[in-house]
Amino acid sequence: MTNIDQLRDQLREYDWLYRLGSPAISDTEYDKLFNELKRLEAESGEPPADSPTQLVGSNLFSPELKQGEVAHSIPMLSIDNVYSTGELLDFGNKVERILKDRSGEPCKWVVELKIDGVSLSLIYENGKLVRGVTRGNGLIGNDITYNLDMVVDIPKQLHPPSSAVCRLPSVVSSLPSLLEVRGEVYMLNSDLTILNEQQIADGEDVYKNARNVTSGTISMKNPDEEKGKKRQKILDERKRRKLHFFAHSIGSEEGITAQTHWDFLQELKSCGIPLAPHTKRFDTFADAVNYCESLYGEEDNFLSELDFEIDGLVLKADSFAIRKALGATGHHPRWMTAYKVEKYEAETKLLNIVVQVGKNGTITPVAELEPVDIAGTTVSRASLHNAEEIERKDIRIGDTVVVEKAGKIIPHVVRVVSHSKDDSRKFVFPAQCPACNSPLSKDADTVYIRCNNPQCTARFKEKLRYFANRNAMDIGGLGGYIAEKIVETGLVRTLPDLYRLKDRKAELTKIERLGEKYAARLFDSIEASKNKELRFFINALSIPNVGTSTARDLANYFGTFEKLRKAAETELADIENIGEITARSIVEFFRSEKEMLDELLTFFNQPEAPDLSQKYEPAVITADKTGALAGLTIVVTGALVNFKRHEIEDVIAKHGGKASSSVSAKTSFVLVGSDPGSKLAKAQKLGIRIVYENEFREMIEDG
């Protein structure tokens, strides 16, 4: 048997174990072997028809269906994977080459979370759920309808939305007689923790991960086919387990009115079928790639706060017509791919929880862990993000926890394996700042708890570090240790003190690990920072709610720092991507920090962006004071079909209205698109009128 034959047999075995819910290797390791087989087959010629690279599944069932087996109307194909931006761009280029002769319709893209669960097909007849079928080998799955009652959020009966309830575009007015919805069954990590606590109490082994439990749960025997103790045991086990479902795709398109994947998802949502959160649509493939990179490249985003497992992001061509043009191989569609990062995790003990003070006073809890090796790195600390996450995941000191590191994202605690019987104790969030003892307070509109003492030394240390980093003033040599020491010794108490540091050279060089040469390089770097571009200077100031992108927008819009300082809150709020909350933060910062800024600027030539050729100039809008929206304050939430965000604000202004970023009692109505945020809930709570896009278009057309 050749190496290539051995590899095929090996993959078939792994496929079989995976379907049984007992994977022998990680997804990353499997994908490497699978890609190696594809490479070898490409070199050796045409692969055989029974190769894992050519089949939907690894082992085909018998053509004659066995009891409990169901043939899929359309194969449930696998998804091809990529592991880098370069591979993702190669996929996009390949799609462009296939579509190069196709004129007209542009290719939009939808990005979804790739839920790490068990694939499931739901069949509805005349709106009634009649069957649930697992993916199986992609051609034939197992009928597990009798277990669907354990999936708490699958609706048993669908009702088409009335126009009075939902005005989303393309929503069906009546359901097709046969509707197939495909998605993923999964278990929450918090529910897995509860289940494992019961396992420990019963003297049983704990479950390693949520996917394995999900696979075993959805495939449990039908209790109606058993009797006596066996039946009761199954019933008892069913009560302990709770599963969930996210829809992600269509089966048969017969009877479906939607022409795009996005519109089909909106139809499902309006009928009560749950969708994966954070699903977004993009006009271009490049925009979709940038979004994926932002999630994998930033340390602080929603990925680490999810209460369920994902194993990547899925990019899908939106148009059903374009999908047909792209077609599929025998293994996977050509119109979608999964963008994964290598994910590593390990179990360890949570020894303690401490808190850190951020540059704007945010108090962040941090887990101190028993050191554990993850992907060649020793991990002993992991962010717990905020108090609400600790409560939601029920993380306690003394717990055995799972720590994950994926891509560039810093290590984080995914879930609790078990609470310690001996020393498990809940973490009590401090009432006072650990650095300055000032009272802590919770933000009114966020999950964060803060120290509001502007003189807090811990806050200033972090602010100084941020001021010196590469995306700010880029002061080389002013790392964590030096920043901490010059603050502790009193050499630098304010940002202007940093530019007087040269006058205190003798005191500076007495600091351990800092000699004459180091000091000279530090002084040169501080001097060079006086010539930084305006956008870096704005970012360096740590203005609340202003990061690198907002700082760039402000620099491009105002051109000079003095113009920015004098700007009114209303002018700031009208700038694209700023909004009322950020505008208020900017104005309050300049008011409270006026003396410090006046002093700081004496050390600079007035900072100005040297190249304003890309300066953002807002469109000149002539408002119609008698227009359909005259005198109305309108808040927009969610993605609109016919307007981009900056366009809708111009349209509102053109028809006499005012676009606002926050909902209040003064809001006239909220314009709602797909996937709306918390603004919709707030508007409903305040009894504010809700308007959908079709009605809005009628308003401005009739006006």
- 3-class state of residue 17 by DSSP: helix
Outline where DSSP puts E strands in 342-433.
343-357, 363-374, 377-383, 396-397, 400-406, 412-418, 425-426
Residues annotated as catalytic (active site), given as ranges: 114
Which residues have C-beta within 8 Å of that of residue 689, sequence separation ≥ 6? 668, 669, 670, 683
Torsion angles phi and psi, residue 448, rounded to 5: -90, 145
Angstrom distances, CA of residue 676 to CA of 78, 515, 638, 657: 31, 56, 4, 21
Residue 440's DSSP bridge partners are 451
Angstrom distances, CA of residue 173 to CA of 167, 250, 273: 11, 18, 16
Contact assessment for residue 638 and residue 666, using Cβ atoms and an 8 Å cutoff: no
Residue 569 CA to residue 654 CA, distance in Å, equals 21
Residue 555 structure tokens: 């620099």
Contact assessment for residue 433 and residue 363, using Cβ atoms and an 8 Å cutoff: yes
Residue 437 CA to residue 368 CA, distance in Å, equals 22
Residue 248 CA to residue 254 CA, distance in Å, equals 17
Sign of CA dihedral 53, 56, 61, 62: negative
Q: Cα 660 to the chain's mean position, in Å?
A: 25
Residue 121 CA to residue 196 CA, distance in Å, equals 28
Residue 497 CA to residue 125 CA, distance in Å, equals 73
Does an H or E element contain 114, and which? strand 109-115
Which residues have C-beta within 8 Å of that of residue 533, sequence separation ≥ 6? 555, 607, 609, 610
